Amino acid sequence: DTAVSQTPKYLVTQMGNDKSIKCEQNLGHDTMYWYKQDSKKFLKIMFSYNNKELIINETVPNRFSPKSPDKAHLNLHINSLELGDSAVYFCASSQTFTSTDTQYFGPGTRLTVL
Amino acid sequence: AQSVAQPEDQVNVAEGNPLTVKCTYSVSGNPYLFWYVQYPNRGLQFLLKYITGDNLVKGSYGFEAEFNKSQTSFHLKKPSALVSDSALYFCAVRDGSGAGSYQLTFGKGTKLSVIP
């Protein structure tokens, strides 16, 4: 009964390809997030959706496009992959987007761009 | 803008000894503070948080953290370290004033190594 799940766990692809990462949460939460963790383990928010609506969109190249078909899913599509996109991508969710709410993280997707 | 500093990249402690992982923060409003742990090749697991009230917060796996408003710190502690505590620890902050409060800002992480 995984709370926040991501697929795939590993993704190896060539530069220029398009790929997607899927995220699902079964916690009944309203808010979901995508984070990027770089090679130095630094974590940075990319996007946040609340009830399928975008509420945070950090300075991320427009090659990255999140899509939320329903509030339990937040997928990340990446066009024209570049070497610098190699990282671990984490999905997270929280009950609401209220500041006090705890965010719960998925296991991560390690993306390697060759 | 909100920020978090974890001044130590690595902390080494002998098994059975007390451990402290340091965190200081900067926000314009009330701070909401969180600690997470990341084991190798795993996602982040929530340990504890401070929102309001008692400055000493108790969390999972015997960890606790002390909120100190005057020193703007939220250090993570455990009375007796276990080898299994070896992991990467992240401190994070959200600004309760509403300015940028949607964002959870993370420190760069501290690698804890517990030596048998």
Residue B37 to residue B111: CA distance in whole angstroms:
10
Q: Are A33 and A45 in contact (CB under 8 A)?
A: yes
| A21-74 pLDDT tens trace | 999 999 999 999 999 999 999 999 999 998 888 887 777 899 999 999 999 999
Residue B106 contacts A, CB cutoff 8 Å? yes
User: Smallest CA–CA separation between B106 and chain A, in Å?
Assistant: 6
Residue A90 to residue A36: CA distance in whole angstroms:
6
Residue B42 contacts A, CB cutoff 8 Å? yes
Mutate to test the interface with A, among B97, B102, B108 (most CBs of A within 10 A): B102
Q: Do A99 and B46 touch (CB under 8 A)?
A: no
Contacts of residue A59, Cβ cutoff 8 Å, sequence gap at least 6: none
**pLDDT for residue B109:** 96
Using alpha carbons, select from B93, B114, B116, B113 the residue that is nearest to residue B27. Answer: B93
Identify the band that residue B41 occupies on the pLDDT scale cut at 50, 70 and 90. Answer: confident
Identify the band that residue B42 occupies on the pLDDT scale cut at 50, 70 and 90. Answer: confident
- Burial of B26 per CB tally in 10 Å (0-12, 13-18, 19+): middle
Q: What is the residue whose two structure tokens read 């300015």?
A: B99
**pLDDT for residue A58:** 79
**pLDDT for residue B102:** 67
Of B43, B90, B94, the CB nearest to A99: B94
**pLDDT for residue B100:** 53
| B62-115 pLDDT tens trace | 999 999 999 999 999 999 999 999 999 999 999 877 655 568 899 999 999 999
User: Smallest CA–CA separation between A5 and chain B, in Å?
Assistant: 10
Closest alpha carbon within chain B to A55: B102
| Buried b / exposed e along A27-50 (16+ C-beta atoms within 10 A) | eebbbbbbbbbeeeeebebbbbbb
Question: Out of A88-97, B31-40, B65-74, B99-108, which region has the weakest mean confidence (pLDDT)?
Answer: B99-108
Q: Is the pLDDT of residue A92 over 90?
A: yes
